[in-house]
Chains A and B, each alone.
Chain A
Amino acid sequence: MSTPAAVTARPAALTTVTSYYRLLIRTQITVARLLGIGTLGALAVVIGLFARLDDNSPQAAADTVSSYGLAVLVPLATLWLGTSAVGDLIEDRLLVYLWLKPVPRWQLPAAAVLATVSVVVPLTALPLVLSASVAGAGDVAWATALAAPLAAVAYAGVFVAAGFWFRRAIWWGLAFVLIWENGVAYAAEGAARVTVVGWASSVLGRAPAIDVQLDAGSAAVALVVLPVIAIAGWLLATWRYRSADID
């Protein structure tokens, strides 16, 4: 038997965040999740094909992106992957292997948000852009290319935080998507301003000659608000990771 290597200085942030990121990507991505989200994405493209038949196809494409893409596809995909990023590690009692390291606590939540975004964006934004494109709404496609990733970033922050805070966070997240994002958002004038889907729809509304049902405010403000939501989620996750007992 030999003696293992001696330890050196605290590892560089880039090294550890990258290590966490790779691990989380490998634990997050499963065939079931890819197939599930892929199917939801393919449905968006099919709906886009039908939207092409509409007399006002740009508006129909925008409605598809807004009411299906931003309100259902993106939040559900992000929920599925975001809550599992760390939630699965907590459920499986594996977090202990990552916690007891000379690594600042903010890095694991940051890696979880990055991993979630990097998987969700290609699986949701691309089909939605394709959906608008096949509907013949080029301007909507461009707006979608900005709105969907921004929504994914904001939702990733929210759901990664939920994964740290709640056991079985997916149920909490599902209630959030159904009740808050698809109920409260439409309930009253101005309610959209306290929802991710409202601000993401504002970005979509930048496309000329279309009218989005939800509009939280100006697209410029949305460009700030959505990343801020992600940062807030990341900070909440970090705080929880720093203060909670690890099982």
Chain B
Amino acid sequence: MLAPLPPHRGLPLSAVEPRVVAEGVSKWFGPLVAVSDVSFDVGPGVTALLGPNGAGKSTMFRMLCGLAVPSKGSVRVLGRDPRADTGVARRIGLVPQQESVFEPLSAHEFVTLTARLHGLPGPASAATQALETVDLDPSDERKLPAYSKGMRQRVKVAQAIVHDPSVLVLDEPLTGLDPRQRADLVGLFRRLGGEGRCVIVSSHVLDEVERLGSQVLVMSQGRLAAAGDFRELRALMDDRPMRVRVRTDRPRQLAGALLEAGTAVGARLDGDDLLELDTMDARALAHALAPVAKDRHARLFEVLPLDADLEGVFRYVVQR
């Protein structure tokens, strides 16, 4: 359990360093354990919470924001219990995972409502500013259901930042965005983190996380599997063996050539046209495959990575 509240309890929230602390947090729903004994301490900057779907990220985020009560353990945001202290909500911005929106409202009305509920002196102008920040037109009077998925996602980000929070909890905020929009929002999150805010972003896409920042928390099956610098994690993941399935008319010749070149570290033939290759460097294999096939007069019908999904990556990390 967490120690008693830190000495800055009496200080105004704006004077407290943005910090989110989870200690021994578990959450179960009947027999289902969604989060199990997770502890971390996150400060200013961008931290990515990485994990496959169903890893417990969203449940963890709900507890960080006070939306759900931990079955065990405790959460502190800015030194306070986000569940009990409604004042903490003033300093938290949340982009929830759900796609649903208030159907009768326009984007500006929605963000203005949020600003008003946070007690901003000029809610309409604050909403205008927040929408412009995420590159949306504040004068667009269409109702939210008429927006594309990516636009709705940006509206959700706008309502999360409209009150200038010091802690931002973003649950899969880049879902549904095109590459340019992703780059813009990643830039915004990095900027907000660089300004001293505590920004926690969840994702199940490795490449996304790589662009977000250096600190990562990895969750798998409700547990914290790894925490620390992303480059170390990336290296760990890159070092694991990967399996690739190739369908070709000359599997034996192709396997021999790739093993000889050292691009593959193992090969298994399956029938007349299927070949499974083990490699430590998937990128090198990808580059070598076509030239080697051409050289051996082999035709490639299919190249399929068998364990490139995140589940495979996390299994590997957790097993280590």
Contact = CB atoms under 8 A, between A and B. Distances in A.
Given A9-B119, A11-B116, A101-B118, A3 B67 contact: no
Contact of B102 (A8, A94, A103): A94
Nearest to A99: B67
B181 interface: no
B115 to A, nearest CB: 7
B105 A26 contact: yes
A92 B65 CA distance: 19
B233 to A, nearest CB: 29
Contacts of B119: 7-12, 15, 102
A187 interface: no
Interface in B189-215: 191
A206 B188 CA distance: 66
Interface string B97-123: 010111111000000011111111110
B217 interface: no
A185 to B, nearest CB: 37
Interface stretch (B41-49, B87-95, B281-289): B87-95
B39 interface: no
Interface stretch (B15-23, B158-166, B291-299, B300-308): B158-166
A92 B100 CA distance: 6
Nearest to A102: B90
A14 B121 CA distance: 14
Contacts of B125: 5
Nearest to A1: B133
A1 B194 CA distance: 14
Interface residues of B, number: 47
Interface residues on A, range: 20 to 34
A94 B162 contact: no
Interface string B152-171: 00000001011111000000
B236 interface: no
Contacts of A12: 119
Contacts of A104: 86
Interface string A1-36: 111111111111001100100010011000000000
Contact of B162 (A5, A10, A99): A5
Nearest to A6: B164
Contacts of A96: 67, 94, 96, 98
Contacts of B90: 7, 10, 102
A100 interface: yes
A92 B133 CA distance: 27
A190 B135 CA distance: 65
B69 interface: yes
Given A4-B164, A5-B122, A246-B62, A103 B67 contact: no
Nearest to A26: B104
Contacts of B68: 245-246
A54 B159 CA distance: 60
B120 A103 contact: no
A100 B116 contact: no
Nearest to A18: B116
Given A5-B163, A97-B114, 15 more contacts: A1-B135, A2-B133, A4-B164, A5-B120, A7-B120, A10-B90, A11-B116, A11-B117, A26-B104, A26-B105, A27-B104, A93-B98, A96-B67, A101-B118, A246-B67
14 contacts: A2-B133, A3-B164, A4-B163, A7-B90, A7-B163, A8-B121, A11-B118, A19-B117, A26-B104, A96-B67, A97-B159, A100-B65, A101-B86, A102-B119
Interface of B: 62, 65-69, 86-92, 94, 96, 98, 100-105, 113-122, 125-126, 129-130, 132-133, 135, 159, 161-165, 188, 191
